[in-house]
Chain A
Amino acid sequence: MKSNKAGRIVLEVVMILLSLVFLYPLFLAVINSLKSFQEVMTDVIALPKKLAFENYSYVWKYIDYPRLFLNNTIVTVLGLAGIILISSIAAYKLARTKSRISSIVYFLCIMPMLIPFQSIMLTVLQLAKDINLSDSTWGLGILYWGFGAPLAIFIYHGFVKGIPKEIDESATIDGASGFRLFFTVIFPLLKSVTTTIIIIDVMWIWNDFLLPLLMVNGSPSTKTLTLAAYTFVGQYTSDWQYAMTAMVMAVLPSIIVFMFLQKHIVKGVVAGAVKG
């Protein structure tokens, strides 16, 4: 067994080295965001001689970071709240109603999971312009309701089927019905799936690029974080230190959140994939 133990230690060391190499690109992005232009051009690997925090204050002001952060938050929260609300009530009713109409509606709700966004993106933009949802942060958030609903309904539907019907019935006897029954009795029972959906959708909406590119790219005041970082790099093609600063500022919120909620995030991602 002794050789087995030695082997395990070697494996452990190899894996740790591998993980460091794996994350090295991110490390390089961070150190180069703190260098002057000269330093980036002469040596990418060396640590910065003097920490150039002015890169951050420059980019912060130039892209109006607080505004972008607010936009991202509005889009994500608004999108998420809508998805959770419309999907949970619909999935609940659909799972509880046994009829032809119910099956058809359920099918119509989840079928779009098979439609790739790229094959409708052009007309989505067209339609959004017609109903005045384009070029607005709020409009973008609202658009996510429909895009997020199919998967959320699918996951909720599977879960509601596992909740005994007697719970509804006893609540009905107590006089609760309709929305009140749902929100006071059923919705609290859906907590674990709701968490899963929140995790998957926050990661998706916060980082989403193509839909914001089509919808809100027109004005600096409506841009999202990723979108602004993309435009910024387009303008500063050779100023790598600013580009890396913008990149780090764009990914930092995700990494911080991940450090605190790591376990939940991994669990939610797995649950979402397995159920979806």
Chain B
Amino acid sequence: MGKLGRKWSERFEFGFFTWPALICVAIAFYIPFAMTIRYSLTKWNGISKHPKFIGLDNFKQIFSGDANFANASWFTIKYALLYIVLVNVLAIVLAVILDMKLKSKNWLRAAFFIPYILSLVIVGFIWKFIFMQGFESFYDITGWDIFKLSWLGEPGPAFVSVLLVSIWQSIGFYMVIYIAGLQSVPDDLKEAATVDGAGPFRRFFSVTLPLLAPSVTISVFMALTNSIKVFDVILSLTAGGPGGTTYSVAFDIYRDTFQNNMYGYGTAKALILFVAVLIITVIQLTIFKRREVEA
């Protein structure tokens, strides 16, 4: 085979191996993404043949006075911040305890991990049942006011419910990441700190936590990308209620498009969500990467 022929056959093979993936990724992401950009510039109900081009009007309207979008954004930001902090703090605490030499640690790890393998929609329904029916029975037994509260029927408690159920479902995932991180902290480092006279808390904050930084980066990143897109659990738990107070951005987009038939308007919001996620993830990754210490 001549040199030229060989080069061509290499190119041919390169194409043969990579085209299938490229085509599938284009169908899943790039073509829909391009369509999103196009429709975001139109007024369209999703049915008529000709979307009407209206330039940036959708964006102007969203930013100048869309109360739904503003509320949903506010909800999503509050939810994401609390979720990221709480789930990570709790998961680190759990991981530190389960990293000790407890007899039941295998059972404990499995127990806290189980909800993570379940579908969020189903988890939402099971908790809806607990909040609506279970709490009534709990109140009959304990008489505690906390069980008498309308957990899904009032804005404040409903927000807490969504947060609580999300954390319940996913804490096991973050826990196993932190356990894996803890196991890579060398024991001699921990021992050295004990010899130096550091108590358990000092030891945790000045030795273990800094070395856990890579796990923190991963977990915060995961928590961020998941919480900013929150949808499933809200759909089954509160369906956006009470009074529309638990609509997230993703749910708001869904409502505009499929329930209100504002297709062009919904895609414009979707595009804003994309840009927001992109900016936040890039910032977060740069900050945390800089903070990591070498073990």
Contact = CB atoms under 8 A, between A and B. Distances in A.
Contacts of A57: none
Interface stretch (A61-69, A143-151, A166-174, A190-198): A143-151
A226 interface: yes
Interface string B223-259: 0010011011000100000000000011001100100
Interface in A260-276: 262, 265-266, 269-270, 273-274
A207 interface: yes
Contacts of A44: 133-134, 136-137
A250 interface: yes
8 contacts: A16-B107, A25-B130, A86-B24, A112-B25, A118-B254, A146-B24, A146-B29, A182-B17
Nearest to B256: A122
Contacts, number: 242
Contacts of B250: 116, 118
Interface stretch (B121-129, B187-195, B203-211): B121-129
Contacts of B158: none
B85 interface: no
Contacts of A101: 14
B126 A209 contact: no
Interface of A: 8, 11-12, 15-16, 19-20, 22-23, 25-26, 28-29, 32, 40-41, 43-45, 82, 85-87, 89-90, 92-94, 97, 101-102, 105, 108-109, 112, 114-124, 126-127, 131, 143, 145-147, 149-150, 153, 178, 182, 203, 206-210, 226, 229-230, 233, 240, 243-244, 247, 250-251, 254-255, 258, 262, 265-266, 269-270, 273-274
Max count, chain A CB within 10 A of own CB: residue among B25, B236, B257, B273: B25
B29 A40 contact: no
Contacts of B277: 114, 116, 119
B60 to A, nearest CB: 19
Contact of A226 (B119, B136, B140, B229): B119
Max count, chain A CB within 10 A of own CB: residue among B22, B24, B113, B257: B24
A45 B18 contact: no
Contacts of B270: 118-122
A118 B273 contact: yes
Given A43-B137, A178-B13, A210 B180 contact: no
Interface in B1-37: 13-14, 16-18, 20-22, 24-33, 35-36
Interface stretch (B95-103, B149-157, B287-295): B95-103
A243 B33 CA distance: 37
A121 B258 CA distance: 11
B64 to A, nearest CB: 21
A119 B119 contact: no
Interface in B76-122: 97-98, 100-104, 107-122
